[in-house]
């Protein structure tokens, strides 16, 4: 490899709006605005790393200052003096400031003082402030002052990965664009094209692995491709990428399943964070967990299958699996399998795989601590009911929910798979008054952000603001899960079952 090798991410950085990858909405809005002369004084771009924030900022700066047109153009030529200087980050009127190293107020003032002078070679003086959330409060105030009365020739382009850390006063003066995570298919197409340009053999399987590992970031994906090319000398196949990506090894998966099935949500989610941060691909992790479930089932003692030596696990790992099997039922294993199978397309379609996986883990834990007797009884009683109520029509996703009772809220939370919120609500909240739009309640545990989370969820799902009014004195009413439990216990079928199994106890109820 030559010494002056340019990393792919830089070499193939988008130079115009058309070649921005996976940001169709942003491109359409921005180009329309430029073409119709509606140019804002401040823009803010937000999104995870490697989605093209800085590239977009530079393209916008070129669009504003390209010499091929006598005004801003959505198609900067890329070859004029201004375009070339901006692309190289060397234009005298286009300042690229890394907020991380200019956090102080003095720095910021100095920069902003210069904004008063007219541009030297360009139509607009452009300030690109990267990672703007890193600025100190006083630096933000200095920036705000300029944003309040910007000179006509000044444009600010702010970029951040953490929009929540940017003060609202700044945000309200900017036109905001959210850069989306780039979908796997789009990444694959781009990587295939780059490989072709570079004369590299990139197999479809290897490309798929790279695109999934990139997790929505073009830059991350291209640096993986860089690394793969360096390691393979240009024949990038699936095996090489698997090695490079350090696919989570089986021992880790076995221990992870042990943590998940132990019922400790915190430990399981922390462990998942570690595995994720080590670069594990969540799709592959799910595959490995399914492999685990399959073999744990085959090894289940009551099935009395012959000792499974063909499993991919070592003797130590098999010993661990046997111990786990002693704590869960066969029914549980098969439900775990079902939930995992259902999670495969969900994970593939998700724009935030990590969130999706967190919820999967919570769901698995929910299943793991579920008793199977009430479950079976419930199914049984449903089967013997002579006249079945017609199924309620499925409410279209776009329609808002109509929630009138605590019970309906519980069901809605479960249906939405808001399991953390549901479990907190059903086990800690005593309802004083419940009507559509207002809940007066007592919180046994008093978790600080519960009300906020629930209010937000309600607003998003019912389309209106709810009043959540906590009371300080316990009304000593049943929580939702206590209520459900006593209702189940009074069911004659259940009570006869409870008599039959002396030590039986209702631990959890699931629909
Ligand atoms: Zn130009």
Please check whether residues 282 and 318 belong to one and the same domain.
yes
The answer to the question of residue 502 being in a domain is: no
pLDDT of residue 509: 57
Question: 286, 394, 397: which is closest to 346 by C-alpha?
Answer: 286
Please check whether residues 351 and 307 belong to one and the same domain.
yes
* Ligand 1 centroid to residue 177 C-alpha, Å: 24
Please check the confidence at residue 432 and state whether its pLDDT lies above 70.
yes
Q: Please count the other Cβ atoms lying within 10 Å of the Cβ belonging to residue 313.
A: 21
Task: Specify the number of domains making up the chain.
Answer: 4
* Ligand 1 centroid to residue 315 C-alpha, Å: 66
* Ligand 1 centroid to residue 200 C-alpha, Å: 32
The answer to the question of residue 158 being in a domain is: yes
Tell me the CATH number at 410: 3.30.300.150
* Ligand 1 centroid to residue 181 C-alpha, Å: 29
Q: Among 80-94, 134-148, 167-181, 271-285, name the one with the lowest average pLDDT.
A: 271-285
List Cβ neighbours of 71 (8 Å cut-off, separation of 6 or more).
Answer: 37, 123
Question: 108, 111, 120: which is closest to 65 by C-alpha?
Answer: 120
The answer to the question of residue 376 being in a domain is: no
Please check whether residues 133 and 39 belong to one and the same domain.
yes
pLDDT of residue 447: 81
Phi, psi of 493 (to 5 degrees): -65, -40
Distance from C-alpha of 187 to C-alpha of 301, rounded to nearest angstrom: 45
* Ligand 1 centroid to residue 84 C-alpha, Å: 7
Residue ending a domain, choose from 143, 178, 213: 178
pLDDT of residue 390: 45
Please name the residue ranges forming H helices in 215-310: 218-232, 238-244, 250-262, 265-277, 282-298
Residue ending a domain, choose from 178, 206, 234: 178
Structure confidence by residue, pLDDT tens digits, 490-507: 766 666 666 655 566 665
Structure confidence by residue, pLDDT tens digits, 24-78: 999 999 999 999 999 999 999 999 888 899 999 999 999 999 999 999 999 999 9
* Ligand 1 centroid to residue 342 C-alpha, Å: 51
Structure confidence by residue, pLDDT tens digits, 83-99: 999 999 899 999 999 88
* Ligand 1 centroid to residue 41 C-alpha, Å: 21
* Ligand 1 centroid to residue 408 C-alpha, Å: 60
* Ligand 1 centroid to residue 17 C-alpha, Å: 13
List Cβ neighbours of 219 (8 Å cut-off, separation of 6 or more).
Answer: 9, 49, 50
Of 156-160, 180-184, 250-254, 423-427, highest mean pLDDT: 156-160
* Ligand 1 centroid to residue 79 C-alpha, Å: 5
pLDDT of residue 1: 43
Confidence of residue 252 (pLDDT cuts 50, 70, 90): confident
Please check whether residues 283 and 417 belong to one and the same domain.
no
* Ligand 1 centroid to residue 156 C-alpha, Å: 20
Helix axes 406-415, 480-489, angle to 10 degrees: 100
Secondary structure letter of residue 93 according to DSSP: T
Q: Who wins on pLDDT, 280 or 257?
A: 257
The answer to the question of residue 395 being in a domain is: no
Q: Among 14-18, 114-118, 395-399, name the one with the lowest average pLDDT.
A: 395-399
Residue ending a domain, choose from 163, 178, 193: 178
Q: Please count the other Cβ atoms lying within 10 Å of the Cβ belonging to residue 366.
A: 20
* Ligand 1 centroid to residue 384 C-alpha, Å: 76
Please check whether residues 145 and 256 belong to one and the same domain.
no
The answer to the question of residue 288 being in a domain is: yes
Distance from C-alpha of 240 to C-alpha of 229, rounded to nearest angstrom: 10
Residue 172 belongs to domain spanning: 8-178
Please check whether residues 104 and 197 belong to one and the same domain.
no
Question: 105, 42, 108, 33: which is closest to 71 by C-alpha?
Answer: 33
Distance from C-alpha of 216 to C-alpha of 21, rounded to nearest angstrom: 11
* Ligand 1 centroid to residue 27 C-alpha, Å: 18
Q: What is the pTM of this model?
A: 0.53
* Ligand 1 centroid to residue 63 C-alpha, Å: 8
Tell me the CATH number at 206: 1.10.8.60
Please check whether residues 296 and 425 belong to one and the same domain.
no
pLDDT of residue 87: 92
* Ligand 1 centroid to residue 81 C-alpha, Å: 7
* Ligand 1 centroid to residue 145 C-alpha, Å: 31
The answer to the question of residue 511 being in a domain is: no
* Ligand 1 centroid to residue 49 C-alpha, Å: 27
* Ligand 1 centroid to residue 141 C-alpha, Å: 34
* Ligand 1 centroid to residue 90 C-alpha, Å: 14
The answer to the question of residue 203 being in a domain is: yes
Please check whether residues 205 and 321 belong to one and the same domain.
no
* Ligand 1 centroid to residue 129 C-alpha, Å: 22
* Ligand 1 centroid to residue 59 C-alpha, Å: 10
Structure confidence by residue, pLDDT tens digits, 192-228: 999 999 999 999 989 988 887 787 899 989 999 999 9
* Ligand 1 centroid to residue 142 C-alpha, Å: 32
Averaged confidence pLDDT in the chain: 85
Confidence of residue 12 (pLDDT cuts 50, 70, 90): very high
Token pair listed for 255: 């221990």
Please check whether residues 41 and 135 belong to one and the same domain.
yes
Place of tokens 């004369």: 199
Q: Who wins on pLDDT, 33 or 400?
A: 33
pLDDT of residue 317: 82
Tell me the CATH number at 90: 3.40.50.300
Give CA 170 to chain center in angstroms. Answer: 25
* Ligand 1 centroid to residue 174 C-alpha, Å: 25
* Ligand 1 centroid to residue 191 C-alpha, Å: 27
pLDDT, average across residues 253-268 = 89
Confidence of residue 186 (pLDDT cuts 50, 70, 90): very high
Please check whether residues 127 and 165 belong to one and the same domain.
yes
* Ligand 1 centroid to residue 77 C-alpha, Å: 4
* Ligand 1 centroid to residue 184 C-alpha, Å: 32
The three-class DSSP label of residue 389 is: coil
Distance from C-alpha of 340 to C-alpha of 286, rounded to nearest angstrom: 7
Please check whether residues 15 and 152 belong to one and the same domain.
yes
* Ligand 1 centroid to residue 53 C-alpha, Å: 20
Handedness of CA 430, 435, 438, 440 (dihedral sign): negative
Question: 168, 117, 178: which is closest to 140 by C-alpha?
Answer: 168
Please check whether residues 69 and 160 belong to one and the same domain.
yes
Distance from C-alpha of 127 to C-alpha of 17, rounded to nearest angstrom: 19
Q: Among 11-15, 140-144, 460-464, name the one with the lowest average pLDDT.
A: 460-464
* Ligand 1 centroid to residue 75 C-alpha, Å: 8
pLDDT of residue 241: 85
The answer to the question of residue 140 being in a domain is: yes
């Amino acid at each position: 490899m030559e010494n002056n090798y340019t990393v792919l991410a830089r070499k193939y950085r988008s130079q115009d709006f058309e070649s921005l990858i996976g940001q169709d909405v942003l491109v359409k809005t921005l180009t329309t605005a430029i073409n119709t002369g509606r140019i804002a004084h401040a823009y803010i771009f937000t999104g995870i790393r490697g989605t093209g924030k800085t590239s977009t900022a530079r393209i916008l700066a070129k669009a504003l200052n390209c010499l091929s047109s006598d005004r801003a153009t959505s198609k900067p030529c890329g070859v004029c003096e201004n375009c070339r200087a901006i692309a190289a980050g060397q234009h005298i009127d286009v300042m690229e400031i890394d907020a991380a190293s200019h956090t102080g107020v003095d720095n910021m003032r100095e920069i902003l003082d210069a904004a008063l002078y007219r541009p030297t070679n360009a139509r607009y003086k452009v300030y690109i402030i990267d990672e703007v959330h890193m600025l100190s409060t006083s630096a933000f105030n200095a920036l705000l002052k300029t944003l309040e009365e910007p000179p006509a020739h000044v444009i600010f382009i702010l970029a951040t990965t953490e929009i929540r850390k940017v003060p609202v006063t700044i945000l309200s003066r900017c036109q905001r664009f959210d850069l989306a995570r780039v979908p796997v298919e789009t990444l694959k197409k781009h990587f295939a094209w780059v490989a072709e340009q570079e004369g590299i053999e990139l197999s479809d399987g290897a490309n798929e692995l790279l695109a999934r590992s990139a997790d929505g970031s073009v830059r991350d994906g291209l640096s993986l491709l860089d690394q793969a090319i360096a390691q393979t000398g240009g024949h990038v196949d699936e095996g090489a990428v698997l090695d490079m990506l350090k696919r989570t090894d089986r021992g880790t998966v076995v221990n992870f399943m042990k943590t998940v099935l132990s019922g400790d949500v915190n430990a399981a989610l922390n462990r998942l964070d570690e595995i994720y941060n080590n670069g594990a691909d969540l799709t592959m992790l799910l595959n490995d967990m399914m492999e685990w479930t399959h073999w744990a089932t085959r090894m289940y003692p009551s099935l009395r299958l012959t000792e499974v030596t063909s499993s991919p696990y070592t003797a130590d790992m098999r010993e661990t699996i046997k111990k786990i099997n002693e704590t869960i039922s066969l029914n549980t294993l098969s439900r775990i399998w079902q939930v995992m199978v259902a999670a495969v397309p969900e994970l593939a379609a998700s724009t935030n795989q990590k969130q999706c996986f967190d919820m999967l883990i919570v769901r698995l834990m929910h299943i793991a601590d579920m008793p199977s007797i009430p479950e079976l009884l419930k199914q049984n009683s449903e089967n013997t009911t002579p006249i079945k109520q017609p199924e309620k029509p499925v409410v279209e996703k776009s329609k808002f929910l109509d929630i009138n009772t605590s019970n309906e809220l519980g069901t809605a939370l479960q249906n939405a798979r808001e399991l953390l919120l549901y479990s907190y609500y059903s086990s800690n909240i005593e309802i004083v008054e419940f009507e559509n739009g207002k809940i007066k309640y007592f919180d046994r545990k008093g978790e600080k952000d519960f009300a906020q989370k629930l209010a937000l969820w309600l607003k998003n799902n019912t389309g209106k603001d709810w009043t959540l009014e906590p009371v300080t004195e316990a009304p000593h009413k049943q929580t939702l899960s206590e209520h459900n439990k006593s209702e189940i216990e009074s069911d004659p079928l259940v009570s006869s079952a409870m008599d039959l199994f002396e030590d039986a106890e209702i631990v959890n109820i699931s629909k």
